[in-house]
Chains A and B, each alone.
Chain A
């Protein structure tokens, strides 16, 4: 009985921020009063009337897509090298790739900012993309290393002995066997990039990402627009999770 009560309490605590934000977003006044006295959709309208959110969303989506794809390719190659081959400096490569996991994001952001001033050809958006790749890479590598370690190397060997060249063996056997890992890594990478604020904040110039735009907005304005925006983002995230689950759940991929 006590256990059940505690469970509900924890669940309630987890849901509380979400519920609060959703309810507040429908407030008719600019106060954060909870629960609201009057209801309206005016803050949702305001979200769409604030151009910086639209451009921020586009920027964030573009960044997430680009950095995830780059991270996925680079991460897969790194994971393959580390798991399948023994070479000098293998441990070093792995620790360097994993470093962004433990180095504070402030440090990464600041360090890239310093570099940006001396390396001229690295433009603002290029630097942010590079940063996001760095942020995304360790997650991709970690997931894929675990995945590759669980797959039998002999699968590739078997494919080659059946006449597949190394590229065919990789595409037709290795990739499908790590498909779930790749999908998981991709979703993780998209989220990590889309969320990133701390490190990105150092490098933002003219073109803001959505988290930075939100931060800038609440520095000056005090109204539930951000609550409305957050609600929209949550709905979007839920749709994406549902769709991925349906797609990956239906498709037969290996455990």
Chain B
């Protein structure tokens, strides 16, 4: 049984467009002139800290939140004036919101009944969607009799059975324990991808965003800071906020020496750092050179090379975390640099020993200070 046959009626996905939407509560602007397009069949994650407006945006798409300005369209159809029950949007809530007085089957049947699907067709559709999510055995259970992971599957089944145009996932994994989360991440992505429903996922968990979604939009204070593939967001964050939100980053503060020949040279307390050129930066401007802990290597023997940055630092501490170990170094000027290494490959040596740290120029980023 594939999801494609279950969702035969869903057809190809619908494009979702949010066009310059704003949502205000009194003086507070929760969503600020936000524009975003989600391509047909795509899973897009809205990633951000709590209070950044991501859930408000999701609710606006569902119709549970009015918008003050802008337009929301599903395909060509404008939907922002429609009541929630007329939008054909499916939503999986953080709390799952399963109806406690109904069995799993009755929960799944609810949407079919409300959509006016003839009763003789309910059984088949319910059976298929329960099979698809491997919960056929739970058909007659009540929500409080099944585990969190099973409730999650029921919530997904209840939403998918009505073949919604758009699927909204509000922090769908936050209530699960870690191991189950890993399983459900893959499961959700597979099921949603098979149905081809355009999906919007809201999460504050970067790992969830990177693994479930096709593209990630990082939100901050009601605006979108950057949209891109998981890899783009991770490897080429445009601002320090995005860089800090996804993964960790080392920063060496300094000033631009010069730009040219495709590179930007930054003068720091630890020496001159080279990075790919950044348009709009001028000589003397205060900046920060950033690089991820996992690109840093210790290389005491090697000679300086043009395509790698090299600084001297001394080891000040290490934290063992299973597969990896994090090493903390200090450079001249007392700037801390974190380096991530495989635990079995001894990275630095004894404390206070001086080492040469090096990392690729291509993995170095320059951010204007304060951005």
Q: Which residues of A contact B (CB under 8 A)?
A: 152, 154-155, 157-166, 168-169, 172-173, 176-177, 179, 252-254
Chain B residues lying within 8 Å of A176, measured Cβ to Cβ, are 99, 101
Q: Give, as a whole number of angstroms, the nearest-CB distance from A36 to chain B.
A: 52
Given the interface pairs A152-B95, A162-B114, A162-B158, the reply to whether A157 lies near B101 with Cβ below 8 Å is no
Q: Are A158 and B85 in contact (CB under 8 A)?
A: no
Residues of B103-141 contacting chain A, CB below 8 A: 110-111, 114-115
> Is B162 an interface position by the 8 A CB rule?
yes
CA distance A155 to B110 in the complex (A): 12
Q: Is B84 an interface residue (CB 8 A)?
A: yes
> CB distance B85 to A157 under 8 Å?
no
- Which of A152, A161, A177, A254 contacts B85 (CB under 8 A)? A161
Q: Which of B83, B93, B142 contacts A158 (CB 8 A)?
A: B93
Assess whether B290 is interfacial by the CB under 8 Å rule: no
10 closest A-B pairs by CB: A163-B114, A162-B111, A154-B97, A158-B97, A254-B100, A160-B84, A176-B101, A163-B115, A160-B85, A154-B93
From B62, B64, B85, B89, A164 is in contact (CB under 8 Å) with B85
14 contacts between A and B (CB under 8 A): A154-B95, A157-B62, A157-B91, A158-B98, A159-B110, A160-B83, A162-B115, A163-B85, A163-B88, A163-B114, A165-B85, A176-B101, A252-B142, A254-B100
Cβ distance B155 to chain A, nearest Cβ, rounded Å: 8
Interface code B62-73, partner A: CB below 8 Å = 1, 0 otherwise?
A: 111000000000
Chain B residues whose C-beta falls within 8 Å of the C-beta of A162 in the assembled complex: 85, 90, 110-111, 114-115, 158-159, 162
With most chain A CB atoms within 10 A of its CB, the pick from B64, B87, B88, B101 is B101
Residues of A within 8 A of B64 (CB): 157, 160-161
B91: which A residues are within 8 A, CB to CB?
A: 157-158, 161
Name the residue on A nearest B170 (C-beta): A154
Task: Beyond A177-B101, A179-B101, A252-B101, list 4 extra A-B contacts (CB 8 Å).
Answer: A160-B85, A161-B64, A161-B84, A161-B159
CB atoms of B114 and A157 under 8 A apart: no
Q: Chain B interface secondary structure, helix, strand, loop or mixed?
A: loop
Q: How many chain B residues have a CB neighbour from A under 8 Å?
A: 26
Interface centre among B63, B87, B100 (most CB of A within 10 A): B100
- A253-B62 contact given A162-B111, A164-B114, A172-B110, CB 8 Å threshold: no
Chain B's closest residue to A253 (CB) is B101
- Which residue of chain A lies nearest to B116 when distances are taken between CB atoms in the complex? A163
Q: Which residue of A lies closest to B168 (CB)?
A: A161
Q: CB-CB < 8 A to A157: which residues of B?
A: 62, 64, 84, 91, 93, 97
Query: Known contacts A168-B114, A172-B110, A252-B142; is A161 also within 8 Å of B99 by CB?
Result: no
Bound: A216/B114 CA distance, A? 57
- Report yes or no: A161 in contact with B90, Cβ–Cβ below 8 A: yes
Residues of B within 8 A of A253 (CB): 101
Nearest chain-B residue to A151 (Cβ)? Answer: B100
Cα distance A25–B162 when bound, in Å?
A: 65
A173 touches B99 (CB 8 A): yes
Digitize B213-257: 1 where CB-to-A-CB distance is under 8 Å, 0 elsewhere: 000000000000000000000000000000000000000000000
In the assembled complex, how far is the CB of residue B301 from the closest CB belonging to chain A, in whole angstroms? 60
Residues of chain B within 8 A of A163, CB atoms compared: 85, 88, 111, 114-115, 162
Q: Are B97 and A152 in contact (CB under 8 A)?
A: yes
CA distance A253 to B144 in the complex (A): 12
Q: Which residues of A contact B97 (CB under 8 A)?
A: 152, 154-155, 157-158
A157–B55 CA distance with the chains assembled, in angstroms = 14
Q: Once the chains bind, are A161 and B101 in contact (CB under 8 Å)? A: no
Chain A proximity of B154: nearest CB distance (Å): 12
In the complex, what's the smallest C-beta–C-beta distance from B29 to chain A, in angstroms? 19
Chain B residues lying within 8 Å of A166, measured Cβ to Cβ, are 83, 85
B164-215 interface (Cβ within 8 A of A): none
Q: Find out whether the CB atom of A254 lies under 8 angstroms from the CB atom of B101.
A: yes
Across-interface contacts of A159 in B (CB, < 8 A)? 99, 110, 114
Report B-chain residues with C-beta under 8 Å of the C-beta of A160.
63-64, 83-85
- Alpha-carbon distance between A254 and B103 when the two chains are bound, in angstroms: 12
Nearest CB on A from B101, distance (A): 4
Cα separation A159 to B84 with both chains bound (whole Å):
10
In the assembled complex, the Cα of A164 lies from the Cα of B86 at a distance in Å of 9
Q: How far is the CA of A193 from the CA of B85 in the complex (A)?
A: 40
Least CB distance, B310 to chain A, in whole angstroms:
54
CA distance A101 to B88 in the complex (A): 46
B235 → chain A, closest Cβ, in Å?
37
Complex Cα spacing A210 to B208, Å? 67
B89 touches A161 (CB 8 A): yes
CA distance A163 to B349 in the complex (A): 64
- Nearest Cβ on chain A to B217's Cβ, whole angstroms: 22
